[in-house]
Structure 1
Amino acid sequence: MSPTLASPPLPSSSPAEKLSLAVVAAGLLALVLALTDGELGRRQTWFYAALALVSGGTLAWSWVKYGGHPAGVQQNNLWLRASTGRGAVAWVTGLVLTGFYVVLYWYSGNDGQGNFGPLNNLVHALDGFSQWLRARPADQWFLYGTFYTLAILLMGGRAIWKYRHSRYQVVRTASVMFFQLGFAYIIPGLLQFFQQPEFYFSYFWPLKYDYLFPGTVTSLVQNGGLGVFMVFWGAVMSLVATPVLTYFFGKRWYCSWVCGCGGLAETAGDPYRHLSDKSRTAWRWEVRLIYTILGIIIVLTALLWVHFATGNTLLGEAGTVAAQWYGFAIGAVFSGVIGVGFYPLMGSRVWCRFGCPMAAYLGLLQKHFSRFRISTNGAQCISCGNCSNVCEMGIDVQQYAQRGEPIIRASCVGCGMCSTACPRGVLNLENGPKEGRYQGSQLIHADSLRILS
């Protein structure tokens, strides 16, 4: 009988790490108390105490964990930890996240009397802040937006500490934090404060699919000049700016610098990026699903406009029902429940990889029309596997690096983590001439714009 090799023991956390994590745990306990306390004053106290404790504890832990150690991508023991190796902690985290999304989407709607079901206490704890920002009481979506934005900001701080040696990663992380806080949280709230339509300037069709639906367009236009500008902004960004920006910079300009879905994946989802399935089977499912969803939303949008042009007689109620089912299956179940709830089990870009129609649209442009590529130098590759391990989109980067082939994949979001993790400088993100784009790095034109990470 051959002896079995036992896994080396995990290094113990320092007292400072344990203290900061205890502060986070106290914050989560305070959140539970806010959820269950029936007295408004105490509930608000517990709620804001929870936000303060979780925020302070997370930032302190990030500083202790990464600030006190040499800079660099540290992937030690990821598969051995219960939290990042699909262990018990990961399953519990996944169940909690999934349960939260289920409750949020289907059990926390306003009953007409200001009751938001299981999340009622947390929603009303935000009434004062919501009145200040939006001039209206909070609802379940304002609660969700607050949690979502806070997660990106706090875990973005962690990512900046962790990758502080890479200017590219620091600037990219700061960018998604800025767009989420400003364009997806503050500006929509201020628009409501001034009695204008809620609008997210950082989301475009086909991701924000209803922004080019005839009903949404008509409603916005009826709101006057600002509404007309919103329609113009959405159409131009979706149909003109997106192809142009993708031609020059690849899909990274949006997926890794602007998009809130990508922002959450790159910050809160960073501990799980190595979990992405890199098998051929996963790639086949990726292609089948994401382009099917893109095709569905294109056809649905076109049919709704034909229906609108024929005086709403072509489809009857079928168009509305189809849009509702798309919103339920794709906008709620896929992007929310699965896309975020499954972070600890399937990696951080499940939605972006398998379901996002915007990623599919950008990916087609990137693969066939863009100047963007990741060049490789096979002679320097030592086959350490760091690049493949950090790829959240399921690309086996090492295979390209070993052969010295440029990486031109529709799924690549240009996060640059493969380049950041490479100890030999084998991988470089480039925007260069399209000529010779598919050739090895030794033939790439010298005048390519190289962005080192």
Structure 2
Amino acid sequence: MNSLKAVHKLGLIIFIIGFALFLSMFFLGEYELKEDQLIENIGKDKYELIQEPIQTVLSTTYNSQFTFISELKNAFSAANDKLKSYYEISSDKASEIAALSENNTYKADYINKSFSESSEISDWQLNQMKSYTSWMEGRSYESKEALQKELEGVIANVNASIIGNKGFSNETIKNTTFSLIKKADVGTVATNPWMWLFLAILLPIIGSALYLLPRLKLQKPGIKNDGTFHNALKSRGWLGMLVGAFLITFYIFLYFYPSYMISWVQMVDPVSLLLSGNPASQWFLYGFLYTLAILVMGVRMILKYRHSKYQMIRTASVMFFQLGFAFLIPEILVRLNQPSMDFKNMWPLDYSFFFEYRLDNLLENGTLGIFMLGWGIALFVLGVPIFTYLYGKRWYCSWVCGCGGLAETLGDPYRQLSDKSLKAWKFERISIHSVLVFAVVMTIGVLYTYFSGSSTLAGLNTYDIRAAYGFGIGAVFSGVVGTGFYPFMGNRVWCRFGCPLAAYLGLVQRFKSRFRITTNGGQCISCGNCSTYCEMGIDVRWYAQRGQNIVRSSCVGCGVCSSVCPRGVLNLENKDPKGRLNQPSLLGNDSFGVNN
């Protein structure tokens, strides 16, 4: 017994050492940017623009990625400032063009007269002005002052477009900086990725295995929740706060500052090259770590719930779908020069499914691409209502979904932190259905733009709606909050309050499904385990005490409430839809009907 405990502690020590090495990689880069690397990345024309301000960077070796990134961004900013001063159109041109007008009517010929000098700058200015004023041709104004004001607005828009057309936009700087830092990195991680993959990834996995496996001998089968609410990791203690802070910080860097994660990306480069033949990006790193988290914590889940066949099979299912369908198959498809696709993901969770670049990519890839498009549409049009009718939303949320898989494995230690209050339930219904409506409106706008070519629908810019959804829901809600808040609000924050697919599945489950959780109220001893460990914030005990079926739209059918019940009161069933609702409530040995 003592030897098993020693192995248990050794595993924890090894894990901590490996995780510390993982964090240390954040500071181990060494960067030497070469001129040919810069030209290859941004092109000869733009290199001439940035050549002067970038000279200091090209002649310096940096040991700090923070300094290197700062110097790179300063060089891009200086190049943009130089570009703006070179191409900017003076607002005086507005009065000059307006003065040429006859009867306060605008004509393109006035621009030709104003921009009469023959030079590259004037040619570009001339073409931009003509493009931005084409809608004004032949239009009459009340006065020259009114025409001048309109032209001043046009000139302001042209000047604002300079960076996008000629220079380095914020998005371009973000992507270019990431690519340049990756190429310029000559540090220990870049030169020894396999070694660091072992030290920072495999070592923690070995430590986790040594920490988890002794539980097979140290604990008998069955769930042990002793001291859960006195545990610093599981009850919003200092350790849980650190874990939450790390997860939130990780997602912020992933979505908004990926350039600072280069050493981690370098570490998984060999794995990406083996699978897809392409260098790793921050998204490959994310998928790699995401999959590992589900696999390692999935083993923990199986050990913890090894008394329950349902839990073991369900956990194995999410591990299988994440590893195969979400991680390996998309990478292998890329190696085969086919469109990458996670066949288990679907709209509206996969909110970019109908974006033009996705549709064009699928349609341009012949039979397989068209099949993928049809599969994606059939999955949410036919798959959701059919399978949810037969099995409830658990067929996806608890057996297939990657978000649910991470919540059930990595997030399992925090399931008891979900808010069971009526206030939380009311907010949940408003929040999750609002996101669903947002997703539908955004997708309608995307499809309208795709088929019509117009970016304006009902007075709204469809690209702005898409960008707002991507930032607010796709990044902040589902990532930063959805996962980062596990130690604060429980493991199903995203699934409960934000996932539009969960909302869609829930609507079907609530009103047309064979699935329900039946309760034997006469056996309930009101211990409260079921409610405590319900990750979706359902007060299961309230239903159990009354012998009422649980048919809540939010229920993901994870079955943990049944697994933690000491009396076998709860049972997950798929039966005839008749009788799901209006079940009698128990009062002692008697029952009385309840009418909705």
For the pair 1:418 / 2:561, whether they are aligned, the reply is: yes
Tell me if structure 1 keeps the 8 A contact 2:546–2:585: no
Give matches, 1:86-125, under 5 Å: 86-108=236-258, 117-125=259-267
CA change 1:67–1:139 in 2 (3 A) is farther
Amino acid at match of 2:299: G
CA change 1:441–1:141 in 2 (3 A) is farther
Other-structure match for 1:405: 548
Deviations, residues 66-106 of structure 1 (Å, cap 9, x unaligned): 55311112111111011111011111111111001101110
Give matches, 1:304-323, under 5 Å: 304-312=446-454, 314-315=456-457, 318-323=461-466
For the pair 1:368 / 2:511, whether they are aligned, the reply is: yes
Tell me if structure 2 keeps the 8 A contact 1:30–1:47: no
Over the aligned positions, Cα root-mean-square deviation in angstroms equals 1.8
Deviations, residues 90-137 of structure 1 (Å, cap 9, x unaligned): 1111111100110111001xxxxxxxx211111012211111101100
Tell me if structure 1 keeps the 8 A contact 2:529–2:561: yes
Deviations, residues 10-42 of structure 1 (Å, cap 9, x unaligned): xxx943322111010011122134333322334
Give matches, 1:65-104, under 5 Å: 65-104=215-254
For the pair 1:247 / 2:389, whether they are aligned, the reply is: yes
Amino acid at match of 1:360: A
Cα shift at 1:198: 1.7
Cα shift at 1:249: 0.2
Cα shift at 1:147: 0.4
Other-structure match for 1:60: 210
Cα distance in 2 for partners of 1:207, 1:176 equals 17
Amino acid at match of 1:381: C
Cα shift at 1:187: 0.3
Tell me if structure 2 keeps the 8 A contact 1:35–1:43: no
CA change 1:48–1:34 in 2 (3 A) is farther
Of 15, 22, 29 in structure 2, the residue corresponding to residue 31 of structure 1 is: 22
Tell me if structure 2 keeps the 8 A contact 1:380–1:426: yes
Amino acid at match of 1:336: G
Indicate the larger mover: 52-61 or 176-185.
Answer: 52-61
Other-structure match for 1:358: 501
Amino acid at match of 2:19: L
For the pair 1:17 / 2:8, whether they are aligned, the reply is: yes
Regions of 4+ moved over 4 Å: none
Cα shift at 1:210: 1.6
Cα distance in 2 for partners of 1:218, 1:128 equals 30
Cα distance in 2 for partners of 1:193, 1:48 equals 25
Cα shift at 1:196: 1.7
For the pair 1:297 / 2:439, whether they are aligned, the reply is: yes
Cα distance in 2 for partners of 1:304, 1:24 equals 46
2:352 counterpart SS class: helix
Cα distance in 2 for partners of 1:225, 1:309 equals 21
Cα distance in 2 for partners of 1:442, 1:61 equals 46
Name the larger-Rg structure.
2
Cα distance in 2 for partners of 1:67, 1:190 equals 40
Other-structure match for 2:379: 237
For the pair 1:434 / 2:577, whether they are aligned, the reply is: yes
Cα shift at 1:43: 5.0
Other-structure match for 2:531: 388
Tell me if structure 1 keeps the 8 A contact 2:326–2:402: yes
Cα distance in 1 for partners of 2:11, 2:356 equals 50
Normalised to the residue count of structure 1, the TM-score between the two structures is: 0.90
Normalised to the residue count of structure 2, the TM-score between the two structures is: 0.69
Tell me if structure 1 keeps the 8 A contact 2:10–2:210: no
Other-structure match for 2:53: none
Cα shift at 1:181: 0.1
For the pair 1:192 / 2:183, whether they are aligned, the reply is: no
Indicate the larger mover: 377-386 or 37-46.
Answer: 37-46
Tell me if structure 1 keeps the 8 A contact 2:193–2:268: no
Deviations, residues 195-219 of structure 1 (Å, cap 9, x unaligned): 2222111110010012134552233
Cα distance in 1 for partners of 2:274, 2:460 equals 39
Cα distance in 1 for partners of 2:357, 2:193 equals 39
Amino acid at match of 1:229: F
**Share of identical aligned residues, percent?**
49
Deviations, residues 259-305 of structure 1 (Å, cap 9, x unaligned): 00000000000000000000011111101110000011112212322
Indicate the larger mover: 220-229 or 328-337.
Answer: 220-229
CA change 1:313–1:418 in 2 (3 A) is closer
Cα shift at 1:146: 0.5
Q: Which runs of 5+ in 1 are unaligned?
A: 1-12, 109-116, 444-453
Amino acid at match of 1:414: G
Other-structure match for 2:359: 217
